């Protein structure tokens, strides 16, 4: 399952069953969030020892999806598909999807996978996180 280095290792990690982990956090108040941060809890204001890392399983359901036809930014070629995913573990994340022009509809079950993409250096390959429809 190993491959090129991860593009954003602070945000996710490889899982041993093919489903990636997301590096989230939990507050003493019970609030679960993504990404992990130590600034403070958005729900209760807790900080410091109140906040602990929590791995979130990359499983969830599509809240919304779209195919981007025209992108107003550098370093990303349209078309590509994006989605909003409600994780089974709680947080809602905004993510790229593996599909292109065929985004899964709201309600569909999806999972996080690590896919090989071009890195910043010429010829470099890295692995980045995408969500895809659960088989």
Sites of contact with Zn ion (CB under 5 A): 27, 29, 31, 41, 43-44, 46
Q: How far is the CB of 39 from Zn ion (least distance, A)?
A: 12
Structure-token match 């979130």, residue found? 56
Specify whether the CB–CB gap between 92 and 101 falls below 8 A.
no
**CA atoms within 13 A of residue 32's CA, in its CB half-sphere:** 15
Task: State which of positions 38-57 bind another protein (CB under 8 A).
Answer: 39, 42-43
Is there binding between residue 84 and another protein (CB under 8 A)?
yes
Output the CA–CA distances (angstroms, integers) from residue 87 to 4, 44, 93, 98, 133, in the order listed. 26, 21, 7, 17, 13
Residue 29's binding partner out of Zn ion, another protein, none, with CB under 5 to 8 Å set by partner kind: Zn ion
Distance, in Å, from the CA atom of 98 to the CA atom of 108, rounded to the nearest integer, reads 14
Cβ proximity to Zn ion: between 30 and 79 the closer is: 30
Q: What are φ and ψ of residue 3, in 5° steps?
A: -165, -160
Is there binding between residue 63 and another protein (CB under 8 A)?
yes
- Binding test (CB under 8 A) with another protein, winner from 3, 28, 53, 94: 94
Cβ proximity to another protein: between 54 and 95 the closer is: 95
- Binding test (CB under 8 A) with another protein, winner from 87, 95, 110, 111: 95
């Amino acid at each position: 399952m190993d491959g090129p280095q991860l593009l954003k290792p602070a945000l996710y990690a490889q899982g041993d069953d093919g489903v990636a982990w997301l590096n989230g956090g939990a507050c003493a108040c019970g609030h679960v969030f993504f990404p992990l941060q130590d600034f403070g809890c958005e729900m209760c204001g807790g900080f410091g020892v109140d906040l602990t890392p929590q791995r979130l399983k990359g499983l969830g359901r599509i809240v919304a999806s779209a195919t981007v036809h025209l992108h107003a930014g550098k370093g990303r070629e349209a078309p590509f598909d994006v989605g909003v995913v409600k994780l089974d573990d709680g947080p809602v994340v905004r993510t790229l999807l593996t599909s292109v022009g065929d985004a899964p509809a709201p309600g569909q079950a999806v999972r996080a996978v690590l896919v090989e993409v071009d890195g910043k250096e010429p010829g470099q390959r890295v692995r980045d996180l995408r969500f895809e429809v659960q088989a």
